[in-house]
């Protein structure tokens, strides 16, 4: 089990995809654990690390959840050889608990998109290439690596915010 | 908040580079927690998961250290504007602790090479391309993401090997 999701969902995927999804789920679970440890008052509090992009932990969470969907959208478009553009994933989680829970349906959508290519190994994942709206070429393996590290980086960001404390 | 207890200080690097190096160190520490605890006989045992590429945990660790150094080579070549040519790294470690020490050495190399990013804008860095031997283009951020996830995947692999046990 990873959080609210059973890894049996991807037990019949390729070894490459199982490894990536296990580590993606691990990263999501670690972020969820951090969110679960935060006092409710910290969720919308500003800190000395706040900026226009991320005034509080809520905005970080909304961003992270939206990006999980965004990365799955890129992979889906690449598989369909189309570009549907940016889908609206306007998340606004009212509470820490809602944010922690909302991570898992987002992750599950990635699992669902990858079910279309469940037999792909590393070489096949690297052969599906596309360009993001930030003009960077990616293949599917790179996109999934980016997705995992995106979670790691924002978990680290939140941990740092908790260390410096809130200013209100 | 760099991993300065163990490694050279990189707090003056760009925030995204610091984030990557922090998470890279965290991934290595997680691997260290697994590999550092194994018994000598487990280091060389074969399991039902063994194959020609990875007959034992020693082979996995030698691969991980070799890859860790190659990722530094790629980034160094991109920052220098030189062609990527494969440098020979011969790795053989009789003990888990020797392999882990060498992995931290590769990480230190990464810190030193990334010092050359200081003073360059994000846009300048994004223009630097790495073409790997497996014919895939990366920029430096993507290469670091790949390096981090590579550690995660092999930590998971070793955890699975330990769970599978020995066939003697």
Q: For residue B20, what is the nearest residue in chain A, using CA coordinates?
A: A153
Comparing A131 with B86, which gets the higher pLDDT?
A131
Contacts of A2 (CB under 8 A, 6+ apart): A22, A25, A26, A28, A29
Residue B1 confidence class, pLDDT cut points 50, 70, 90: very low
Mean pLDDT of chain A: 92
Contacts of B52 (CB under 8 A, 6+ apart): none
CA distance B12 to chain A (A): 17
Measured distance CA(A129)–CA(B149) in Å, rounded: 19
C-alpha angle B156/B17/A25, rounded to 5°?
A: 30
Average pLDDT on A107-124 reads: 96
Partner residue opposite B146 with nearest CB, options A19, A137, A145: A145
Phi, psi of A164 (to 5 degrees): -80, -15
First-residue to last-residue Cα distance in chain A: 37
Beta bridge partners of A5: A2
Is this model's pTM higher than 0.80 or not? yes
| CA-to-CA separations, A18 to A13, A24, B49, B163, in angstroms, rounded | 6, 10, 15, 17
CA distance B4 to chain A (A): 16
Least confident of A10-14, A81-85, A125-129, B121-125: A81-85
First-residue to last-residue Cα distance in chain B: 44
Residue B100 has pLDDT above 90, yes or no: yes
Measured distance CA(A141)–CA(A80) in Å, rounded: 17
ipTM: 0.94
Beta bridge partners of A2: A5
Residue B63 confidence class, pLDDT cut points 50, 70, 90: very high
CB contacts < 8 Å between A and B, how many? 55
pLDDT digits (tens, 9 = 90+) for A56-95: 999 999 999 999 999 999 999 999 988 887 777 777 999 9
Residue B5 has pLDDT above 80, yes or no: no
Partner residue opposite B23 with nearest CB, options A126, A142, A153: A153
- Tokens at B133, concatenated: 């031997």
pLDDT digits (tens, 9 = 90+) for A90-113: 779 999 999 999 999 999 999 999
Residue B4 confidence class, pLDDT cut points 50, 70, 90: very low
* Chain B residues whose beta carbon lies within 8 Å of the beta carbon of residue A22: 156
Partner residue opposite A23 with nearest CB, options B139, B146, B152: B152
pLDDT digits (tens, 9 = 90+) for A24-50: 999 999 999 999 999 999 999 999 999
What's the pLDDT at A93? 94
């Amino acid at each position: 089990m990873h959080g609210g999701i059973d890894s049996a969902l991807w037990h019949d995927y390729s070894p490459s995809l199982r490894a990536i999804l296990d580590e993606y789920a691990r990263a999501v679970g670690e972020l969820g654990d951090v969110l679960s440890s935060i006092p409710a008052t910290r969720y919308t509090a500003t800190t000395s690390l706040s900026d226009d992009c991320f005034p509080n932990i809520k905005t970080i969470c909304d961003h992270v959840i939206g990006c999980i969907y965004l990365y799955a959208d890129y992979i889906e478009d690449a598989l369909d050889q189309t570009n549907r553009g940016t889908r609206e994933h306007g998340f606004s989680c009212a509470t820490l608990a809602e944010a922690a829970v909302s991570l898992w349906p987002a992750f599950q959508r990635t699992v669902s998109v990858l079910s279309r290519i469940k037999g792909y190994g590393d070489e096949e994942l690297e052969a599906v290439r596309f360009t993001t709206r930030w003009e960077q070429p990616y293949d599917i393996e790179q996109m999934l690596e980016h997705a995992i590290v995106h979670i790691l980086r924002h978990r680290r960001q939140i941990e740092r915010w908790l260390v410096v404390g809130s200013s209100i | 908040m760099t991993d300065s207890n163990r490694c050279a200080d990189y707090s003056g690097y760009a925030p995204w580079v610091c984030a990557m190096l922090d998470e890279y160190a965290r991934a290595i520490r997680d691997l260290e927690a697994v590999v550092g605890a194994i018994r000598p006989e487990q280091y060389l045992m074969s399991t039902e998961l063994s194959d020609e590429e990875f007959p034992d945990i020693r082979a996995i660790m030698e691969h991980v250290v070799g890859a860790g150094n190659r990722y530094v080579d790629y980034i160094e070549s991109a920052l220098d504007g030189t062609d990527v040519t494969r440098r020979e790294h011969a790795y053989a470690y009789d003990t888990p602790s020797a392999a882990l020490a060498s992995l931290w050495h590769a990480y230190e190399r990464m810190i030193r090479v990334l010092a050359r990013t200081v003073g360059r804008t994000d846009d300048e860095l994004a223009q630097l391309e790495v073409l790997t031997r497996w014919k895939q283009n990366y920029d430096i951020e993507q290469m670091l993401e790949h390096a981090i996830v590579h550690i995660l995947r092999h930590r998971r692999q070793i955890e699975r090997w330990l769970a599978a046990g020995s066939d003697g």
